[in-house]
Amino acid sequence: MSRMALERVLQSQGFGTRRQCRQLILSGQVRVAGLAVDDPDVLVDTPDLEFQVLGQAWTYREHVYLALNKPAGYECSRRPSHHPGVLGLLPDALRARGVQAVGRLDHDTTGLLLLSDDGAFIHAQTSPRRKVPKVYVATTQDPVTPELVAALLAGVRLHDEPEPLAALSCERQETHRLGIVLEQGKYHQVKRMLAAAGNHCVALRRVAIGGLRLDALNLPEGSWCYLGESELALLARA
């Protein structure tokens, strides 16, 4: 739908119930293309629509696709139990439209996390069939040895997996740091693989998904950004 009543636009973008959105407009809190609009029923073109609510600028998006530089100490669940949730790092309007994490990072794992309100996108990104490579940097308790790297590349057996799990690539970066690329998404996989290979992970950071690299997004820790078509296309590339 390319034309929509302004109150429905606000409701679709997470600004409250239809009644709440109507009141925002009637009270003069909404501007479209820089002009104040006080008619909730006025029809507006949604493609490339820019508007302001309570002085904050927004662009209409049918769905949102976000990247977050996740800090340590946050849970990815919509109902966190022991730590704050990552959704608390987003504006109220994004949370209200049902944004959720695409897959999960442990509460103590940092780095690149995707979020969206597009169910089809979330399903596609988390499907094991896609085998999108994910790049991590792990800090280890003991020094990274050639034997450790070789074991991770050859595959290690985890107690609840029928077959050994191997890294797509693995390389020593520093004395106690290695880069590892996985295409699976098993529970605590990097930590468990390191433990099975005889070491221990003391810190873990995801730095890329497919061809989308966190450093290219220039996101400070705890910050987020919208992903456009060019960034989304990188998710399918190694």
Last residue of a domain, one of 27, 59, 91: 59
What local confidence, expressed as pLDDT, does residue 131 receive? 81
Q: Report pTM.
A: 0.90
- CATH number for the domain spanning 28: value is 3.10.290.10
How far apart are the C-alpha atoms of 66 and 99, rounded to whole Å? 9
Q: What are phi and psi of 177, to 5 degrees?
A: -145, 140
Q: Which of 39, 100, 229 is nearest to 10 (CA)?
A: 39
**Predicted pLDDT of residue 237:** 62
Shared domain check, 98 and 70: yes
DSSP 57-123: EEE--SS-EEEEEEPTT-B-SSS-SSS-BGGGGS-HHHHHTT-EESS---TT-EEEEEEES-HHHHH
Query: Do residues 124 and 216 both lie within one domain?
Result: yes
Give the count of beta carbons closer than 10 Å to the beta carbon of residue 34: 9
User: What is the domain range of residue 55?
Assistant: 3-59
Residues 154 and 187 in one domain: yes
Tell me what the mean pLDDT of segment 125-145 comes to.
Answer: 90
Cα–Cα distance measured from residue 163 to residue 172, given in angstroms and rounded to the nearest whole number: 25
Do residue 113 and residue 171 come from a single domain?
no
At residue 238, does pLDDT exceed 70?
no
Same domain, 104 and 151: no
Domains in the chain: how many in total?
3
8 Å CB contact between 66 and 90 = yes
How far lies 90's CA from each of 78, 97, 136, 138, in Å? 12, 11, 24, 27
Q: What is the CATH number of the domain that holds 149?
A: 3.30.70.1560
3-state class percentages of the chain: helix first, strand second, coil last, to nearest 5: 25, 30, 45
Say yes or no: 47 and 15 in one domain.
yes
115 & 216 share domain: yes
Same domain for 190 and 165? yes
CATH number for the domain including 93? 3.30.70.580
Does 81 share its domain with 183?
Answer: no
Confidence of residue 230 (pLDDT cuts 50, 70, 90): very high
Distance, CA of 43 to CA of 214 (rounded, Å): 39
Residue 26 β-bridge partners = none
Contact of 204 with 110, CB cutoff 8 Å:
yes
Q: Which active-site residues does the annotation give?
A: 106
201 and 163 assigned to the same domain: yes
Pair (187, 69) in one structural domain: no
207 touches 137 (CB < 8 A):
yes
pLDDT tens track for 59-93? 999 999 999 999 999 998 777 778 889 999 999 99
Task: Report whether 94 contacts 75 (CB < 8 A).
Answer: no
pLDDT band at 236 (very low <50, low <70, confident <90, very high): confident
161-207 pLDDT, tens digit each: 788 999 999 999 999 999 999 988 778 899 999 999 999 999 999 99
